[in-house]
Amino acid sequence: DLRIIQDAFKARWNNLTKEEAGAFTVGQMVAFTSRSGQRIEGEVEKINRKTIGVKVGPYSSYRVSPSFLEVVE
């Protein structure tokens, strides 16, 4: 059924997200492109199950999917 396919897809997607999130560490500098096309750089603040908390400046933070992040050297 479609439900079985959906459950399998969801499980695989969750596993991929966890693997991608494991590539980052707290304190690491990362960058991503915002919806408006602006490149935003910040520091990994927290690693959640499906998102990475990125701190940008003293008062701003974002929750970003690990697949959108890249490490800044």
* Full-model pTM: 0.75
Express each pLDDT in 19-45 by its tens digit.
Answer: 787 789 999 999 999 999 999 999 999
Decide: 46 and 26 in contact? Cβ < 8 Å. Answer: yes
Question: What's the pLDDT score for residue 34?
Answer: 93
Helix (H, G, I), strand (E, B) or coil at 33: strand
Residue 15 confidence class, pLDDT cut points 50, 70, 90: confident
Task: Specify the DSSP class assigned to residue 37.
Answer: S
**Hey, what are 49's tokens?**
């199950």
Share of the chain above pLDDT 70, in %: 100
Question: What's the pLDDT score for residue 61?
Answer: 96
Is beta strand 39-47 parallel, antiparallel or unpaired with respect to 29-33?
Answer: antiparallel
